[in-house]
Amino acid sequence: MKNYKLIISYDGSRYYGWEHQPNTEMTIQGKLESVLSKMLDNPAEVIGAGRTDAGVHAKGMVANCHMETKMNEQEILAYMNRYLPEDICVRELRICSDRFHARYNATGKTYCYTLYVGELKPVFNRKYVYVPEKQPDIDRMREAAGYLVGEHDFASFCGNPKMKKSTVREIYDINIERSGSYINMTYHGSGFLQYMIRILTGTLLEVGTGKRSPDSIPALIEEKNRSSAGFTVPPQGLCLIKVDYSNNTKEKE
Structural contact between residues 203 and 157, judged by C-beta atoms closer than 8 angstroms = yes
pLDDT of amino acid 47:
97
- Number of domains present in the structure of the chain: 2
Q: Are 93 and 60 within one domain? A: yes
Q: Are 16 and 100 within one domain? A: yes
pLDDT at 103 over 90: yes
Considering the chain, what is the average pLDDT of its residues?
95
Q: Which domain holds residue 143?
A: 106-242
Q: Are 49 and 77 within one domain? A: yes
pLDDT of amino acid 123:
94
Structural contact between residues 141 and 216, judged by C-beta atoms closer than 8 angstroms = no
Q: Are 96 and 149 within one domain? A: no
According to DSSP, residue 123 is labeled: T
Digit-coded pLDDT (tens) for 3-26: 999 999 999 999 999 998 888 889
Cα separation of 158 and 197, whole Å?
Answer: 9
pLDDT at 246 over 50: yes
Q: Are 34 and 20 within one domain? A: yes
pLDDT at 251 over 60: no
Q: Looking at the domain assignment, is residue 175 inside a domain? A: yes
Q: What distance separates the 2 farthest-apart alpha carbons in the chain?
A: 61
Selecting among 41, 53, 139, 244, the annotated active-site residue is: 53
Q: Are 60 and 138 within one domain? A: no
Q: Looking at the domain assignment, is residue 131 inside a domain? A: yes
Cα separation of 121 and 123, whole Å?
Answer: 6
Amino acid at the residue 219? A
pLDDT of amino acid 249:
54
Structural contact between residues 67 and 1, judged by C-beta atoms closer than 8 angstroms = yes
Amino acid at the residue 245? Y
Instruction: Average the pLDDT over 35-58 and give the result.
Output: 95
Q: Are 111 and 236 within one domain? A: yes
Answer yes or no: 53 catalytic.
Answer: yes
End-to-end CA distance of the chain: give it in Å, rounded.
Answer: 13
Instruction: Average the pLDDT over 95-102 and give the result.
Output: 96
Q: What percent of the chain has pLDDT over 90?
A: 92
Query: Which of 104, 127, 155 lies at the terminal end of a domain, its last residue?
Result: 104
Among 19-33, 64-78, 91-105, 167-181, the range scoring the smallest mean pLDDT is: 19-33
Among 81-95, 181-195, 239-253, the range scoring the smallest mean pLDDT is: 239-253
Q: Are 11 and 117 within one domain? A: no
Which residues share a beta bridge with 177?
A: 184
Structural contact between residues 205 and 138, judged by C-beta atoms closer than 8 angstroms = no
Q: Are 124 and 202 within one domain? A: yes
Cα separation of 153 and 148, whole Å?
Answer: 10
